[in-house]
Chains A and B, each alone.
Chain A
Amino acid sequence: EDKVVQSPLSLVVHEGDTVTLNCSYEVTNFRSLLWYKQEKKAPTFLFMLTSSGIEKKSGRLSSILDKKELSSILNITATQTGDSAIYLCAVEADAGNMLTFGGGTRLMVKP
Chain B
Amino acid sequence: DAGVIQSPRHEVTEMGQEVTLRCKPISGHNSLFWYRQTMMRGLELLIYFNNNVPIDDSGMPEDRFSAKMPNASFSTLKIQPSEPRDSAVYFCASSFGGRGAEQYFGPGTRLTVT
A100 to B35, CA, bound (A): 11
Q: What number of B residues sit within 8 Å (CB to CB) of A?
A: 23
The chain A residues found within 8 Å of chain B, CB to CB, are 31-32, 34, 41-45, 48, 50, 88, 92, 96-104
Say yes or no for B13: interface residue by CB 8 A criterion: no
A104: B residues at CB distance < 8 A: 42-43
B107 touches A96 (CB 8 A): no
- Chain B, 71-114, contact with A by CB distance < 8 Å: what is the 0/1 string? 00000000000000000000100010100111111111000000
A31 to B33, CA, bound (A): 18
- Chain B, 28-71, contact with A by CB distance < 8 Å: what is the 0/1 string? 00010101000000111100101000011000000000000000
A42: B residues at CB distance < 8 A: 91, 105-108
B91: A residues at CB distance < 8 A: 42-43
Q: Which residue of B lies closest to A41 (CB)?
A: B107
A37 to B48, CA, bound (A): 22
9 more A-B residue pairs beyond the given contacts A34-B103, A96-B55, A103-B42, with a C-beta to C-beta distance below 8 A: A31-B101, A34-B102, A41-B108, A45-B103, A48-B100, A96-B48, A97-B95, A97-B101, A101-B45
A41 to B109, CA, bound (A): 10
A97 touches B48 (CB 8 A): yes
Q: 21 interchain pairs (CB within 8 A)?
A: A32-B100, A34-B101, A34-B103, A42-B91, A42-B105, A43-B91, A43-B105, A45-B103, A45-B104, A48-B102, A96-B31, A96-B56, A97-B31, A97-B48, A97-B50, A97-B101, A98-B48, A98-B56, A101-B42, A101-B43, A103-B42
